Structures are given as structure tokens and as C-alpha cells.
Amino acid sequence: MGSKNIETKHKIKSINRKIDFYNLLEESMLNEKEKRFMILFYVESKPLNYIADELGYTIQGISKLHSRILKKIESLL
């Protein structure tokens, strides 16, 4: 994961209120599966292997999905 993605991930984790997090999701161009990933990972604190099973991805695939999501929303933070 690149340094830009790491910075974006930290910004997401620093969002204090769930309402702000859900507003971020609504403003983003994420599809429903991507939004579900974000909720499972950042709100429900589920591990990546759980999320991969839930969404039908491999561990490698879910990591790539996470990177793509971070690139999509970095400009919103």
C-alpha cells in the first residue's frame, strides 16, 4: 500500500462520528460492495479475511479492493 493510501486510511480512521463517515460514503463514487467493505472494515472492525469471505473475494482481491477504494475517496478527505 502506498504512502498516499496509508495517509487516507489514517484520515478515515480519525473520523469521529459515524454520521460523518456515512456522509463520506454517500459523497463518494463507491458502489454498494465498496461501501459494504468500508462499513465492515472501518465501522464494524472486521478482519480482512472475514470481509473477503463475506464479499466473495480472496485475501489478495480484498486488499486490492481496499487500495482502489482509498484512491477513490482520498480527494474527499
Split at pLDDT 50, 70, 90, the class of 15 is: low
Q: What's the pLDDT at 16?
A: 58
Are 23 and 66 a contacting pair, CB within 8 Å?
no
pLDDT in tens, 16-70: 566 677 888 888 889 999 999 999 999 899 999 999 999 999 999 999 999 999 8
Please report, for the chain, the start and end positions of each structural domain, with discontinuous segments joined by +: 3-76
CATH 1.10.10 fits 3-76, yes or no: yes
**Which three-class secondary structure string do you get for 6-73?**
HHHHHHHHCCCCHHHHHHHHHHCCCCHHHHHHHHHHHHCCCCHHHHHHHHCCCHHHHHHHHHHHHHHH
Quote the pTM value: 0.76
Q: What is d(CA 52, CA 74) in angstroms, rounded to the nearest whole number?
A: 22
